[in-house]
Amino acid sequence: MTIYLRHNRLRLALHPLKPGGGPALLLLHGLGERAPDTLPAEYASWPGTVHALDFTGHGLSDIPRGGGYSCEFLMADADIALAHLGPSTVAGRGLGGYIALLLAGARPEQVRGAILRDGPGLAGGGTAARNPYIPVVDTTRTGPPDPYAIADLATDVRPPSYAANYAMLAAQHSDTPQPIAVCTRERPDWLKAVTELLSLEKVELDQALQHYASQASLRAGSAA
């Protein structure tokens, strides 16, 4: 059953995909997507619970009036889900991967590994601000995804130094070894800066999941 959380006046939809105990895994979708209805096969081996979040303006989450979307606002969405779930590994596709990186830097003690995957919205709108951009959207369209979300987030500027700062915060303050896992083929400039700063190599998704699951097992064993 879908869990509804509050982000100020907006309602966020958090979908349980795998019940039970054990380490938590939070899935973040790409731009214009929504949380999957069932557990994706690639996450079936995860030893604990799995939840997927619909970002604001997507899926079953509320659509605000007039747009005004930013990656930082979506990071706050994910932070609210993280507060509900407790310490979690976070895996994101596209835009969700960028949000996972920001969240790992902002909440290094709560994010037990951020997995970045290919998907829509990974690159964003480049590395530097351009002339003021006024989106033209079809306001007659109803239902998610919100066209303002697509317009705003597809052009969201992502300076490499900004992403690198969040990556450094995660590396310095997380107690999880290698808290950022890059599973992407696409390498926008912000991600190049992150991989160069932390000397990261591309890993396969199953390797990243196994690494963070084993860290969770070690953590549980030491706490017993």
- 140-157: per-residue pLDDT in tens? 666 789 999 998 999 999
The band of 137, judged by pLDDT with boundaries at 50, 70 and 90, is: low
For residue 151, give both structure tokens.
Answer: 């317009």
Residue 176 has pLDDT above 90, yes or no: yes
When pLDDT is cut at 50, 70 and 90, the band that residue 192 belongs to is very high
Check whether 180 has a pLDDT greater than 70. Answer: yes
34 secondary structure, DSSP code: -
- For the residues 208-220, what does the mean pLDDT come to? 94
Determine the pLDDT at residue 127. Answer: 77
What is the tally of helices (H) and strands (E) in the chain?
A: 6, 7
Q: What is the pLDDT of residue 134?
A: 58
Report whether 35 contacts 100 (CB < 8 A): no
What CATH number is given to the structural domain containing 138? Answer: 3.40.50.1820
Structurally, the chain folds into a number of domains equal to: 1
State how far Cα 152 lies from the chain centre. Answer: 17
Decide if pLDDT at 131 tops 70.
no
Domain of 120 in residue numbering reads as 3-219
Residue 153 is assigned to a structural domain of this protein: yes
Q: What are residue 182's phi and psi, to 5 degrees?
A: -105, 115
Predicted pLDDT at 135 = 60
Residue 224 lies inside a defined structural domain of this protein: no
